[in-house]
Amino acid sequence: MEMERDFETKLQLQQPELGGVGSKAVQRTNSITFRAPQEQFTVNDFELGKLLGTGSYSKVIRAKKKDTGNIYALKIMDKKFIAKENKVSYVKMERIVLDQLDHPGIISLCFTFQDAYSLYMALECCEGGELFDQITRRGRLTEKEACFYIAEVIDALEYIHSMGLIHRDIKPENLLLTSDGHIKIADFGSVKPTRESQITVLPNSANEKACTFVGTAAYIPPEVLNSSPATFGNDLWALGCTVYQMLSGSSPFKDASEWLIFQRIIARDLKFPEYFSHEARDLIDKLLDTDPSKRLGAGPDGYASMKKHSFFKGIDWKNIWKTPPPPRLAPVQDVSVDYNIHDNPWSLMHVGGDATYHHDIPDANACPASSSEALSISSLASIDSFDSRWREFLESGEAIVMISKLKKIQKFSNKKVQFILTDKPRLLFVDPSKMTAKTSIIWSDKPSELNVQVANSSHFKICTPRKVISFEDPKDRAWQWKTAIEGLQHR
Q: How far is the CB of 58 from ligand ATP (least distance, A)?
A: 4
CB-nearer residue toward ligand ATP: 78 or 473: 78
Contact 263, 225 (CB under 8 A): no
Interacting residue with ligand ATP among 43, 60, 163, 383 (CB under 6 A): 60
User: In angstroms, rounded to a whole number, what is the distance separating the alpha carbons of residues 188 and 11?
Assistant: 17
The answer to whether 169 is a known catalytic residue is yes
CB-nearer residue toward ligand ATP: 186 or 320: 186
Q: Is 84 annotated as a binding residue?
A: yes
- Cα–Cα nearest to 191, from 125, 72, 100: 100
Binding characters for ligand ATP, 229-268, by CB under 6 A (x = yes): ----------------------------------------
**Under rule CB under 6 A, residue 379 binds ligand ATP:** yes
Question: Interface residues for ligand ATP in 70-89 (CB under 6 A)?
Answer: 73, 75
Give 151-211 as a DSSP string: HHHHHHHHHHHHTTEE----SGGGEEE-TTS-EEE---TT-EE-TT------TTTSSTTTT
- Helices 278-287/232-248 angle, 10° precision: 150
Q: How far is the CB of 108 from ligand ATP (least distance, A)?
A: 9
CB-nearer residue toward ligand ATP: 376 or 418: 376
Q: How far is the CB of 22 from ligand ATP (least distance, A)?
A: 21
Taking the CA atoms of residue 380, residue 378, residue 472 and residue 60 in that order, the dihedral angle to the nearest 10 degrees is 20
Interacting residue with ligand ATP among 34, 41, 46, 57 (CB under 6 A): 57
Interacting residue with ligand ATP among 48, 82, 123, 141 (CB under 6 A): 123
Please name every residue paired with 174 in a beta bridge, in sequence order, or none if there are none: none
**Under rule CB under 6 A, residue 122 binds ligand ATP:** no
- Amino acid letter, residue 230: A
- CB-count burial class (<10 Å; 0-12, 13-18, 19+) for 47: middle
- Amino acid letter, residue 83: A
Decide: helix, strand or coil at residue 147.
helix
Binding characters for ligand ATP, 163-202, by CB under 6 A (x = yes): ----------xx-x---------xx-x-------------
Contact 234, 224 (CB under 8 A): yes
Q: Which residues are annotated as a binding site for ATP?
A: 84
Binding-site positions: 84
Residues of this chain that interact with ligand ATP (CB under 6 A) are: 52-58, 60, 73, 75, 107, 123-126, 130, 173-174, 176, 186-187, 189, 371, 379
Query: Annotated catalytic sites, by residue?
Result: 169
